[in-house]
Structure 1
Amino acid sequence: MPRGLSAVLLALPLLHSTAFARAGCETLGGEAVQGGLLWGRVPPGSSVMLDGEALPVLPDGWYLAGFGRDAPATAQLVVEGPEPCAATLAVAAREYRIQRVDGVPQRTVTPPPEQLERIRRERALVVAAKARRIEQPDWLRQVAGAFAWPASGPISGVYGSQRVYNGTPGTPHYGVDVAAPAGTPVLAPADGLVTLAEPDLFYSGGTIILDHGYGLSSSFLHLSEVGVAVGDEIRRGEVIGAVGASGRATGPHLDWRMSFRGRRIDPQRLVPPMP
């Protein structure tokens, strides 16, 4: 497994004080909150289900669970194996910034018809890259430390925020935006394998997806340079690209997003405060 996942499993408890235990279940850590990650450990050979979905369990029993932007108030955790248990998890709700913008020309909200096929093709590339399931548990304990910021600068956009254009809600923002000059190096926040490296996608421009293993991945959008290729194995802190304003961006910044098995999670909850 790419070493970035070990950073989550082994080091993130140092960043948060929300570790807790459920009666009859193994100790859990992290945050049961919309956009958050939760992790725990069960006896090897166990299976773990969250709301009926099987979660990946590493050979030594570590597992991850993720909660989307609009996750419901409760989730059912079921462990089957040597020490079976079940628990109802309370998922904390969040308030998101909603901005209403009226009088926007429709052509800036809706892509032109001649670009729709391109958009569909590029979306399929992204979905396929995130659908890969990379499992290399022998890498688990080769790295210490949590996720690091891929770039430094003012935070100009946050996870979960949303704009309503001319009364129609737009797609929520699923990343954290870091404002930085064009050309600023973008660093890998954790180890992983490059599954997408595209210089010019319609919406996101220069785009990289770095898979941290077992369905956990980072995406880096609007890059001016893509310095890696699909199949590259990357270590935390290596330069992978450069900040830009490519795609549908209004100025240079890094849009860093994270996904866990189809759920968009908040990268800002996995890193220390911005320096």
Structure 2
Amino acid sequence: MRLAITTFLAATGILTASLTAQAAEPTYQGQFVQGGIVFGQTDAGAEVLLDDEVIDTIAPDGRFILGFPRDYEGPAKLSIKHVDGSVESFAYDIGDREFNIQRIDGLPPKMVTPDPAVMERIKDDSRQAREARTERFTENFLEDGFIWPALGPISGVYGSQRILNGEPRAPHWGVDIAMPTGTPVVAPADGIVTLAHPDMYFSGATLFIDHGLGMVSAFLHLSEIDVKVGDVVRQGDVIGKIGESGRATGPHLDWRINVGAARVDAQLLVPPMEEAQKAANANN
């Protein structure tokens, strides 16, 4: 199940092509779509800007990652400032995606808006999560690609959204895997633990792993966390157990990915669940 990014992207037909034959221009692996993740490579020492904002984590050898939020419209404007002072600019269309929208009316107000008494706790949880995502590592944690952190039925997907009593809620940023409490969760890729919180208001026991170059995995609603902040984990290591802590209606893992501030679709990093399950069964 250790599937390299390059192997998986090529096998699924995801873009893996150089823009031109010029060595100085970037090459890409990934999808230029809403919620998409693109792995880029330019020359060593170059500076990369996306929509005029500097990408603050780029490897010494010129590797970088682009993340496109759910509602990103594009075109994406990319600028490469080379060490010789030259600048190249590119523009890329971003593919639109349709996301499931569910409207629910007639709910009691307390089901829609949190009690003011817990708002300070929610704000502090958000602060801790934000600070944990500001860690920046350039280690080559991504060379082995990604695997699913758990195998099982998918009960929720990235980008879906509920409108409660006419008020839009935040979209769902992760992929939900419904399995019994106590099911092991493994690291989908190498990385460093930057957050291990036992009880956040919404997400319960919450774990963050920084995979380098601004990419961070979050694992929500855990029943147990088996690692601590500062631990280096390797792909396949058990990092926790599935649970239903926080605001969960049943046991499941909510796996999320950020690239910098952009919340992106974790499912774009791994093979379809059915394929992963078949491969696991074949190896047992």
TM-score clears 0.5: yes
- Partner of residue 171, structure 1: 170
- Partner of residue 31, structure 1: 31
Q: Write the distance in 2 (CA, Å) between the matches of 1:177 and 1:101.
A: 20
Q: Write the distance in 2 (CA, Å) between the matches of 1:184 and 1:59.
A: 38
Are residues 63 and 12 of structure 1, via their aligned partners in 2, closer, same or farther at CA, if it must alter by over 3 Å? farther
Q: Percent identity?
A: 46
1:42 shift after superposition: 1.3
The secondary structure found in structure 2 opposite 1:122 is helix
Q: Deviations over 1:39-97 (max 9, x none)?
A: 22212121111101112321112221111111123111111115642111111111000
Q: Write the distance in 1 (CA, Å) between the matches of 2:10 and 2:145.
A: 9
Larger deviation, residues 28-37 vs 143-152? 143-152
1:12 shift after superposition: 5.0
Q: Write the distance in 1 (CA, Å) between the matches of 2:93 and 2:196.
A: 38
Q: Give the letter for the 2:16 counterpart.
A: A
Are residues 11 and 262 of structure 1, via their aligned partners in 2, closer, same or farther at CA, if it must alter by over 3 Å? farther
- Partner of residue 16, structure 2: 19
Q: Write the distance in 2 (CA, Å) between the matches of 1:42 and 1:262.
A: 22
Are residues 165 and 151 of structure 1, via their aligned partners in 2, closer, same or farther at CA, if it must alter by over 3 Å? same
Q: Write the distance in 2 (CA, Å) between the matches of 1:116 and 1:241.
A: 28
Q: Deviations over 1:227-250 (max 9, x none)?
A: 111111111101111111110000
- Partner of residue 50, structure 1: 50
Q: Give the letter for the 1:88 counterpart.
A: A
User: Which aligned pairs between 1:107-256 and structure 2 lie closer than 5 A?
Assistant: 107-136=110-139, 140=140, 144-256=143-255
Q: Deviations over 1:207-262 (max 9, x none)?
A: 00011112110000000111111111111101111111110000000000000111
Are residues 161 and 143 of structure 1, via their aligned partners in 2, closer, same or farther at CA, if it must alter by over 3 Å? closer
5+ residue gaps, structure 1:
none
Q: Give the letter for the 2:19 counterpart.
A: R
5+ residue gaps, structure 2:
278-284
* 1:217–1:258 CA contact under 8 A, matched in 2: yes
Q: Write the distance in 1 (CA, Å) between the matches of 2:122 and 2:142.
A: 37
* 1:73–1:93 CA contact under 8 A, matched in 2: no
Q: Give the letter for the 2:66 counterpart.
A: A
- Partner of residue 41, structure 2: 41
1:143 shift after superposition: 6.9
Q: Write the distance in 1 (CA, Å) between the matches of 2:110 and 2:7.
A: 46
* 2:33–2:96 CA contact under 8 A, matched in 1: yes
* 1:109–1:165 CA contact under 8 A, matched in 2: yes
Q: Give the letter for the 1:26 counterpart.
A: P
Q: Write the distance in 1 (CA, Å) between the matches of 2:17 and 2:226.
A: 41
Q: Deviations over 1:13-62 (max 9, x none)?
A: 33542223335633222111111111222121211111011123211122
RMSD (Å), alpha carbons: 1.9
Larger deviation, residues 110-119 vs 250-259? 110-119
**Alignment size in residue pairs:** 266
Question: Is 1:96 aligned to 2:92, yes or no?
Answer: no
**Higher RCO (C-alpha 8 Å, min separation 6):** 1
1:152 shift after superposition: 0.7
Q: Write the distance in 2 (CA, Å) between the matches of 1:102 and 1:257.
A: 28
